[in-house]
């Protein structure tokens, strides 16, 4: 009778939690394997978060480089205009003032673009995606400044200066394109890493589930069986009590 009630209690617990193993006494070896697999899943999930964070940083860098590219395109337009012999000295002065303002905006982008308080440009870091030292994705972001883009000294004071500045600007645009290409390659590596981790998480979860999760259909059948056994036990006890009472009555008669 007591065993039947204990079986019912454990079956109800498995149905409530959805877990076959709720304490070591259920399956000590299975519990250890389950705990190890769940620890693996936590590590994998953290690795995925690390890779996703790194991907977010590269997105910010790429968007900023896109903005910088837009500024350089405008710089190229005004440099071309200033290089024309039809542009007056006053016109070149105005264009040069705009060019220097653009250069200031470029420097500001490089200096003020950050993630979690850390500057993005001119830095490098490794995103740890697993426990092994080999599970690293290196992220390198070139510095973003007029000096690093080869624009130092560029001006539109004369048509010759403007022509030289145009060459410098075109070189800077090419350099930006190269930097964005490197970032794109890094994003592809991060995406592949994230997808691989997701696949490992799913397979590990499935393995852990096979070991520790309850078979609901089987537990429902067991619950019905144990309840029948418990009810049978109660009935047998009642019948026994009735027989004992009848025996005592007959002896006293």
Domain residue spans in the chain? 1-18+214-253, 28-213
Q: Which residue has the higher pLDDT, 22 or 166?
A: 166
CA distance 165 to 110: 20
Position 238 pLDDT exceeds 70:
no
Determine the pLDDT at residue 8.
73
Position 250 pLDDT exceeds 60:
no
CA distance 72 to 43: 43
Q: Does domain 28-213 have CATH number 1.20.1330.10?
A: yes
Determine the pLDDT at residue 224.
79
Q: What is the mean pLDDT of the chain?
A: 88
CA distance 27 to 14: 13
- For the whole model, what pTM was predicted? 0.77
Residues 46-75, mean pLDDT to the nearest whole number:
97
Residues 237-244, mean pLDDT to the nearest whole number:
54
Residues 29-56, mean pLDDT to the nearest whole number:
95
Position 45 pLDDT exceeds 60:
yes
Residues 150-174, mean pLDDT to the nearest whole number:
97
Backbone Cα Rg of the chain:
37
| Choice among 171-175, 195-199, 245-249 with the minimum mean pLDDT | 245-249
pLDDT digits (tens, 9 = 90+) for 107-124: 999 999 999 888 999 988
Instruction: Grade residue 133 by pLDDT with cuts at 50, 70 and 90.
Output: confident
Position 54 pLDDT exceeds 70:
yes
Determine the pLDDT at residue 249.
54
Position 237 pLDDT exceeds 60:
no
Residues 75-79, mean pLDDT to the nearest whole number:
98
CA distance 187 to 184: 5
Exposure b/e, 125-150, CB count within 10 A at least 16 = b:
eebbbbeeeebebebebbebbbebbe
Residues 86-115, mean pLDDT to the nearest whole number:
96
Determine the pLDDT at residue 240.
52
| CB-facing half-sphere around the CA of 239: CA atoms within 13 A | 6
Determine the pLDDT at residue 233.
58
Determine the pLDDT at residue 4.
66
């Amino acid at each position: 009778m007591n065993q039947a009630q204990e079986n019912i209690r454990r079956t109800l617990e498995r149905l409530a939690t959805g877990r076959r193993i709720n304490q070591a006494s259920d399956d000590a070896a299975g519990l250890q394997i389950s705990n190890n697999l769940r620890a693996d899943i936590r590590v994998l999930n953290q690795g995925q978060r690390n890779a996703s964070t790194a991907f977010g940083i590269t997105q910010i860098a790429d968007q900023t480089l896109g903005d910088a590219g837009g500024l350089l395109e405008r710089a190229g337009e005004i440099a071309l205009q200033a290089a024309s012999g039809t542009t007056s000295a006053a016109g070149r002065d105005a264009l040069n003032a705009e060019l220097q303002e653009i250069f200031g905006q470029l420097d500001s982008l490089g200096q003020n673009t950050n993630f979690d308080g850390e500057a993005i440009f001119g830095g490098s870091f490794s995103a740890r995606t697993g426990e092994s030292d080999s599970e690293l994705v290196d992220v390198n972001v070139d510095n973003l400044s007029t000096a690093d883009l080869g624009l130092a000294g560029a001006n539109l004071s004369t048509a010759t200066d403007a022509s030289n500045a145009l060459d410098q600007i075109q070189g800077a645009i090419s350099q930006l394109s190269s930097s964005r290409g490197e970032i794109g390659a890094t994003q592809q590596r991060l995406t592949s890493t994230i997808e691989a981790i997701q696949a490992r998480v799913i397979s590990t979860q499935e393995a852990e589930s096979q070991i520790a999760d309850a078979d609901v259909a089987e537990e429902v059948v067991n619950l019905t069986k144990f309840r029948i056994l418990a009810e049978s036990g109660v009935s047998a006890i009642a019948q026994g009590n009735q027989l004992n009472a009848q025996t005592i009555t007959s002896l006293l008669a």
